[in-house]
Copies of this chain bind each other. A is one copy, B any other.
Amino acid sequence: MTTEARRTLIEAAQELYATNGVAATTPREVLARSGVGQGSLYHHFPSKRDLAAAAVAQTVDDTLGSAAATLDGADAPQRRIADYLERPRAATAGCRVGRLTADPVVMGDETLRGEVSRYFTELIELVAQAFAEQGLDAAAARDRATTAVAVIQGGYVLSRALGDDAAMSSAVRGLLELMEPRTDWARGEEQA
């Protein structure tokens, strides 16, 4: 079936990109992992960039959908934000989307760069919406959402650099502590 080989190729590419990035992933590796023949690859995807465009768009959709499931819920905004920040992550593996900002093939292709840009634009917007519901004005909500997403992305970078998931946990803990009402020297509580 035509769609079968295509999907298999995209999935193999997604996994390889998560490990090695787009630039360092060769068509040969995609063929080996997918079990599909050479002719099929170039039938479905005339060039390496065409495969990358399909696989990266799929990864952005997957990852964004998963984040939206947490951030768009019916819980209190404070809870949704904490759930998003504390979600279990394979931090030392790095962010599948964030790592693409260091990939020369991605950054050199307008379509691929656009997918990465779309991911972060929509993610920051989701988080900003939750902060706005907490009562922050639009500008402050946007700044704080950018900070929160940056902590996650930076947490991935640090965990990878140090080879330890604890760096992500530490970065998130530091942020949550700052966002907590300061019961130590100020009044007791802010919300229920």
Contact = CB atoms under 8 A, between A and B. Distances in A.
A33 to B, nearest CB: 16
A27 interface: no
A99 B172 CA distance: 21
Interface stretch (A34-42, A65-73, A75-83, A137-145): A137-145
Interface residues of A, number: 56
Nearest to A175: B147
Interface of A: 20-21, 23-24, 94, 98-104, 107, 113, 116-117, 119-121, 124, 140, 142-155, 157-158, 160-163, 167, 170-175, 177-179, 182, 185-187, 190
21 contacts: A21-B103, A21-B104, A98-B157, A100-B102, A116-B161, A117-B163, A120-B167, A121-B162, A124-B158, A140-B174, A140-B177, A143-B174, A146-B155, A146-B170, A149-B171, A150-B157, A151-B151, A154-B157, A157-B157, A178-B179, A185-B187
